[in-house]
Structures are given as C-alpha cells and as structure tokens.
Amino acid sequence: MLDRIPFLIGLRYTRAKRRNHFISFISLTSMLGLTLGVAVLILVLSVMNGFDHELRTRVLGMVPHTRIEAQNGVNDWRALAEQMQKHDHVVGAAPYIEQQGMFSSRGQTQGAMIEGILPDAEEKVSIIGNHMVGGTLSSLQQGEWNVVLGSGLARNLGVALGDSVTLLVPEASITPGGVFPRLKRFTVSGIFQVGAQLDGNLAYTSLGDMKTLARQSGEAQGVRLKLDDLFQAHAVTRDIINSMPPGYRGIDWTYTQGNLFQAIQMEKRMIGLLLMVIVAVAAFNIVSTLVMVVTDKHADIAILRTLGATPGSIMGIFMVQGITIGIIGIVLGVLAGIGLALSIADIISWVESAFGIQFLDPSVYFISYLPSRLEFSDVLVVTGVALLLSFLSTLYPAWRAARVQPAEVLRYE
C-alpha cells in the first residue's frame, strides 16, 4: 500500500484544480509545448522520409543505377548485357544512346537530354512505362522517328500527341553548300509524367533512330543496369569495370544524383536535431512547473513527512506528476503528428488549389508535390527521447521536495 502512495498522490495533484492559476498556466504550456514539438518533429521527419523515398523510387527509377559504356560504342550489346547480368546484384540491362539537343516547335525552344532506347529492354531498367499519360513507349520503332516527351517538356513546347517537333543536335553536317546544324523532325507519340524535374528535360526515341542521328558507331553507346540494391552501385560498377577489357568506363547514380541524396539525408538529421531542441525546451518547462508546485505544496509535504512518508516517496509523488504531464503532452503530440503526416499531402494540395499557388516548382525542385512517408521507427525514437527528457525534467524538483524539512515548514503554520 505504501508503494502506491506516491503514484496516487501524484495523480491527484495532477487532476486537482489549483488555487494558483499561474502554476496551472505553466503546466498547460509545458503540455502544449510537448504536443507541438512532438507533432512537428514527426511531421517533418515523415516529409523528409517522403523526399528520400521519392528520390529512390521516381528519380532513381528513371535514372539508371549504373551504366557501362565503351569509348567507341558497343558492337554487341546483348552479349555485353548477358555478361553483366551474371553479377549477383544486376537484375536488368538495356542498351542506350544518349544525346543532348534542343527541341523546337511553334517558336518555342527547350533543351533536353534525348535517350535512344529499345522499349522492351527499357522496361527492365526503368519505370518510364508505368508513368505514360499519353501514347505508349512501344511506339518508338526504328524508322518511324517518333519521340516520347516529358510532360513539362511538352507543355513548354506547346505540343500534344501527334504534333511534330524539330530536334537540333550540337553537331554540324558538312555539305557542298556549307556547314549546317543537324536537324530532324520527330512526331510526338507519347508523353510521360513522373512528377519530377525529369519531366521537363528528358525525352526518349528509338535506339536505331538515335544511332542514325548521332552517327553512333556500334549498336549502342553503352548498357544501363538496374541493381537489386542501389546502394551497391559504386561497388558493382567497380567490379564490372575491373572484369572488362580496356576502353570501358562505368558511371553510377551517385555521380549524377548522389549530392541530392546526401543533402536530403543531412537535412533530415540536422532538422531532426533542431526540432528536438523544441521538444527539450518544452520538456524542461516541466522543471519550472514542478518547482512552483513544490513551493506551493510545502505544507502538504511536511504533513506527509510527519505521517511517515520517506524522502523517496516524496520524490516519487512529484516525479509521477511531472511524468504524467509529459505523457499526456507526448501522446497528444504523437496522435497529431501521425494525423498530419498521413494527410499533409492532401492539405498542401488543397491549399495550392484554393489559393492558386505552387509550393514546389518542378523547374527548381526534383519533384512537384510534398511527399510524406510515416515510419514507425521515427515515431518510436521521438516518443522515447521525449519521455526521457520529461523524466529528467522531474528529477531536480522532486529532489528539492524530498529535502523539505517538516519542522521548518510547520513552525509557521
């Protein structure tokens, strides 16, 4: 029964209406501070997880995990792909020819990266086929001079399915009449949209047509590979190049998108630490709350001590009170954070539609919407740290309460 006394009295102090309204206000502020800090921390970590996930699934779903190319082109890409697929981490291979150029249509021009591909093989290394909003990838057949544009690129050029665009490549053709830029007219046979920056600067055409336009020696420029673990890209690329004869080089995704991925990881850690300070400040507000409660309850403490309560029991009373305040604030914060994390994309979408604004410009950011991905491990870490800080905040006030001398207090009562 004695062991239950600190728990029962601590909960009673928490529920009781205080005569000192200022103490009640500080207690409520501490609770709301914890709620706000925990909710914001869970929400921000979920958004950063969303950016990380979108980078992996969308951007890195379009960008090859690694690519192996030869200086003078690949004469037999199928044999090369078969050799590379013997590696444990390689799950797909496809040929490509890459060329920078400028599209022009109706007085509008836009630079882009043009990829010459084989549609059937491309589906093994890219998610492009899953994000077609018009036409099909299979329309890219040699000799038909079709092109599949990103939605942003098509919008900037003002073209739709069936329209014609002119591609200018940065190489000149020498003719008897002089030196002329190399131009070719394409028909838009497809439009894709992945919701990323690639929508505005990427296009696909047939491997054979690009080979003719780029005057590529060999069947392809190189082979793009898809891996079962994209974080093994650097090691896999090194292993493959070491097994190849001279004249080959490997380029993995860390060279093109690695800085972006590292920036997201660093921002997640730094923002998490900064927001944890908010939780810490809210938790340590419990200190001021309990110090004032201890001062207000000196007479009660003295009476309990004269009735036989030990200093440990007195400490337990105020620790229970402080931890209860912390638990209520943390639980409310976790519930609010989970709710916001699951609905933030819809909320932002509604705000954009209602006010006609766009928070993420796809020409600046690698995606055009605010992603969110709630991870249970983040919720556990935030909850655990907040509970620890709340517990530590109760120690000093509880220790001061245990040092109250009954004789000194009751002398003036």
Predicted model pTM? 0.68
Report yes or no on 256 lying in a domain.
Answer: no
Q: What is the mean pLDDT of residues 316-338?
A: 87
The answer to the question of residue 342 being in a domain is yes
Residue 231 in any domain: the answer is yes
Mean pLDDT to the nearest integer, 31-43: 87
Both 80 and 150 in one domain: the answer is yes
Is residue 199 situated within a structural domain?
yes
Please check whether residues 328 and 286 belong to one and the same domain.
yes
The mean of the pLDDT values for the chain is 81
* pLDDT of 70 above 90: no
**Domain assignment of residue 154, given as a range:** 72-246
239 and 287 co-located in one domain: no
Averaged over 148-164, what is the pLDDT? 91
Q: Give the end of a domain, one of 213, 246, 279.
A: 246
| 283 and 399 part of one domain | yes
Residue 360 lies in a domain: yes
pLDDT at 2: 46
Task: Assess whether 204 and 83 both reside in one domain.
Answer: yes
Is position 65 within any domain?
A: no
Per residue in 172-215, pLDDT tens? 555 554 445 678 899 999 999 887 778 888 999 999 889 888 88
Residues 228 and 329 in one domain: no
Please tell me the predicted confidence (pLDDT) of residue 338. 93
- Residue 86 and residue 43 share a domain: no
Query: Quick one: average pLDDT of 68-79?
Result: 85
Task: With a cut of 80, say whether residue 115 has pLDDT above it.
Answer: yes
Q: Which of 79, 47, 65 is nearest to 127 (CA)?
A: 65
When comparing pLDDT for 16 and 68, which is higher? 68
Number of independent structural domains in the chain: 2
Q: Is residue 255 part of a domain?
A: no
Q: Do both 49 and 78 map to the same domain?
A: no
Residue 1 pLDDT exceeds 50: no
Whether 327 maps to a domain, the answer reads yes
- pLDDT value of residue 148: 94
pLDDT at 164: 92
C-alpha neighbours within 13 Å on the C-beta side of residue 217: 4
pLDDT surpasses 70 at 409: no
Residue 390 has pLDDT above 80, yes or no: yes
112 and 223 in a common domain? yes
| Segment among 105-119, 159-173, 182-196, 257-271 with least mean pLDDT | 257-271
Look at 21 and 133; give whichever has higher pLDDT: 133
Do residue 269 and residue 233 come from a single domain? no
Whether 400 and 294 map to the same domain: the answer is yes
Q: Which residue has the higher pLDDT, 356 or 330?
A: 330
Both 16 and 39 in a single domain? yes
User: Is the pLDDT score of 351 beyond 90?
Assistant: no
User: What whole-number percentage of the chain has pLDDT above 90?
Assistant: 12
Looking at 43-57, 82-96, 216-230, 397-411, which range is the least confident one?
397-411
Looking at residue 187, what is its pLDDT?
92
